[in-house]
Amino acid sequence: MPGLRARRQNGGMGEDHQPVLHGPRGVADEPPDTLRARILGGWDAALTAAQADEGAAERADERADEAADGGADERADGGAGAAGDLRVLAELGSWPGRPVLGAVMAAAHGLPVPERRPKPFDPSREEILAALAEARERVAAALDEVLAVPELGRRIVDSPLGPLPVLTQIHAMGHEAAQAVQTATGSVPPPLADAGLAAMVDVVGALAWRSRIPASAGLWEPDGGLGWVFTADADGWRTRRREPADDLPGVEGAARHLLVSTGSVPAMLARGEIRLRRVGGLLALAPLVDQVPNLPGGPLLRKAVGAVSLLGRLPGLR
């Protein structure tokens, strides 16, 4: 599944490709208009960031040329590679032989999953931008299809994280997109950050349900910023925006810190960039960390759980 890279984990659930029509299923229960707006709004923000980054690269090239031509003390700030390298976004694109959501939608219809060919080895910026635009259109088409036939979106099909509903997988792409844009440009536009946080929380909720772990947790920004929480039980899981009155386990911090793909959680904790809330409740998610090595947000969750485990052994902390 695009956006979720891990070995297959079945979690004891059969892969019969049948819809699950009862019980809450995270974002599948969200009003279609708001769900569609968030998913496609995230993609639009990613495309805008990629196109803007192209302009930054061109300006850096111009400054470098001016400096090479004798501009006294003028130097390019960062260079083209630092300002405009979009290769990290190539995995998000839709390429010949590896269309975005091709395998997911084929499985949703019970069709053989097509063999996925590798993307171009070193695509140009223009090719990457075109592939991103096509990916966005394919996501929009898939959304139109599953939102028109809700049981199709709830159908459970295989993914790199094991069986998950089709709509969960489509929505989960926001996480990889947010991380890729942050890596490529150094920032995440708010609509994409929102989609990325929602994707992380929804997938963790789905995995908690699948693993029969009753739990509630979330990720959120301080001072009423972006935030999402889930609650999982035997019937399913619910995903919603965090409300000010919520008192749940989770990790608090700016979206740019919550979405990091690498980094030191202890260092971020020490600097106050992230804060663990209701830390005992986070330990309920420890089995997911062990079962799914590349869980969305896994580095953050894994290190947070490890920090909680360590802190819990210190005198005076209960």
Buried b (16+ CB within 10 A) or exposed e, 187-208: ebbebbbbbbbbbbbbbbbbbb
How do residues 39-52 score in pLDDT, each as one tens digit?
A: 999 999 999 999 98
Distant-in-sequence, close-in-space partners of 245: CB < 8 Å, separation ≥ 6: none
Residue 304 CB partners (closer than 8 Å, separation 6+): 251, 265, 274, 276, 282
For residue 14, being part of any structural domain is answered with: no
142-201 per-position pLDDT tens digit:
999 999 999 999 999 988 888 999 999 999 999 999 989 998 888 999 999 999 999 999
pLDDT tens-digit profile of 41-91? Answer: 999 999 999 998 655 445 444 443 444 444 433 333 333 333 356 888 988
Report the predicted TM-score, pTM, of the whole model to 2 decimal places: 0.79
Range of the domain at 69: 26-312
Q: Cβ contacts of residue 239 below 8 Å, gap of 6+?
A: 26, 27, 30, 198, 201, 202, 205, 228, 229, 230
**Are residues 243 and 211 in contact, defined by beta-carbon separation less than 8 angstroms?**
no
Number of domains making up the chain: 1
pLDDT given for residue 304 in this prediction: 60
Of 318, 22, 25, the residue nearest 170 (C-alpha)? 25
In a domain, 317, yes or no: no
The answer to whether position 19 is within a domain reads no
Classify residue 116: in a domain, yes or no: yes
* Least confident stretch, 95-99, 222-226, 229-233, 241-245: 95-99
Whether 277 is covered by a domain: the verdict is yes
In a domain, 157, yes or no: yes
Cβ–Cβ under 8 Å, residues 28 and 206: no
Give how far Cα 219 sits from Cα of 124, 129, 167, Å: 36, 30, 21
